[in-house]
């Protein structure tokens, strides 16, 4: 069985048919650490190459239900990456300033620069997820009064996202979209674990428990979202998340594989630049 699922042309997607736990890529805790460290080394090398190339950038989008492990995945997978070449942006409830702009405005302000890796912890996809489950939130977005919240409205939002990502792709962004898929039972276990562990109680929020009552609606929203925004150039990756360690290995492998497909190369110096370097080296040799 595959360790993750790459979704390019989904016709019928049912999350209940996709396992939240698969056979692990590791056989022991030691092997898990070794595999993750190996990918850390590769990602560090790719990051250096990305910066040196300075024509491309990578945008990694994490989506998932509450407690799915987005924060932990970002922490563990990106631990070997130079923080100077990486930014992590968390998408919280929109501010009044953000509500005064279109729903893609915030993400455009925080896109990674060329040569950089950008991490979105949640993203503009919340605008077809939480707003789909709670359409009353759209009232705060100051949309034109003639805009009806119906099937056509969501169709155009998906289309806007797809067109936006096509534009970013043409501009040199490598977009990696990851949905960490956990089961309802595992989410309950993780929430209860927070109540039991004093070191985790600070993580508890009323919203996490409340939103769990909309589990079915969120699953449907994610299915529709992935179905309507996955493509050959910008696929979705569904990562089984009930095993946190295995999910982190899967995510690190996805990033390594996507970097390999970018075929990055160190820039070649022009003849005049080589001559200049030769002169500079001769000055050092004479010192």
Query: Could you report the per-residue pLDDT of 183-205, keeping only the tens digit for each?
Result: 999 999 999 999 998 888 888 88
Number of domains the chain is built from? 1
Query: Could you report the per-residue pLDDT of 43-90, keeping only the tens digit for each?
Result: 999 999 999 999 999 999 999 999 999 999 999 999 878 889 999 999
Residue 31 tokens, joined: 């092997």
Question: Tokens 């589990």 sit at which residue?
Answer: 215
Query: Could you report the per-residue pLDDT of 105-120, keeping only the tens digit for each?
Result: 999 999 999 999 999 9
**pTM for this model (two decimals):** 0.94
Contact 264, 46 (CB under 8 A): yes
Q: Please state the rounded mean pLDDT for residues 133-142.
A: 95
pLDDT at 239 over 80: yes
pLDDT level of residue 1 (50, 70, 90 thresholds): low
Helix then strand count (H, E) for the chain reads: 11, 6
Query: Could you report the per-residue pLDDT of 149-182, keeping only the tens digit for each?
Result: 999 999 999 999 999 999 999 999 999 999 999 9
Full residue range of the structural domain in which residue 52 is found:
5-286
Contact 227, 10 (CB under 8 A): yes
CATH number, domain with residue 72: 3.40.50.300
């Amino acid at each position: 069985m595959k360790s993750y699922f790459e979704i390019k042309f989904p016709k019928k997607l049912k999350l209940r048919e996709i396992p939240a736990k698969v056979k692990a890529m590791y056989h022991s805790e030691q092997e898990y650490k070794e595999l993750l460290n190996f990918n850390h080394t590769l990602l560090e090398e790719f990051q250096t190459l990305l910066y040196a190339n300075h024509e491309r950038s990578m945008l990694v989008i994490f989506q998932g239900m509450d407690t799915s492990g987005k924060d932990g995945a970002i922490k563990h997978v990106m631990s070997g990456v130079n923080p100077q070449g990486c930014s992590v942006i968390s998408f919280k409830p929109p501010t009044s300033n953000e509500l005064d702009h279109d729903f893609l405005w915030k993400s455009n302000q925080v896109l990674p620069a060329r040569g950089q890796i950008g991490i979105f912890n949640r993203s503009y996809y919340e605008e077809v997820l939480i707003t789909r489950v709670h359409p009353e939130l759209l009232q705060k977005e100051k949309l034109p009064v003639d805009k009806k919240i119906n099937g056509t409205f969501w169709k155009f939002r998906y289309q806007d996202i797809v067109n936006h990502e096509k534009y970013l792709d043409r501009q040199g962004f490598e977009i990696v979209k990851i949905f960490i898929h956990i089961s309802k039972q595992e989410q309950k276990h993780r929430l209860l674990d927070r109540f039991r562990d004093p070191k985790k109680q600070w993580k508890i929020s009323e919203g996490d428990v409340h939103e769990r009552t909309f589990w079915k609606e969120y699953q449907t929203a994610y299915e529709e979202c992935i179905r309507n925004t996955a493509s050959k150039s910008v696929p979705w990756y569904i990562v089984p998340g009930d095993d946190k360690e295995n999910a982190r290995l899967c995510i690190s492998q996805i990033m390594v594989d996507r970097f390999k497909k970018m075929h990055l190369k160190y820039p070649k110096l022009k003849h005049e630049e080589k001559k200049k370097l030769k002169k500079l080296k001769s000055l050092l040799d004479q010192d």
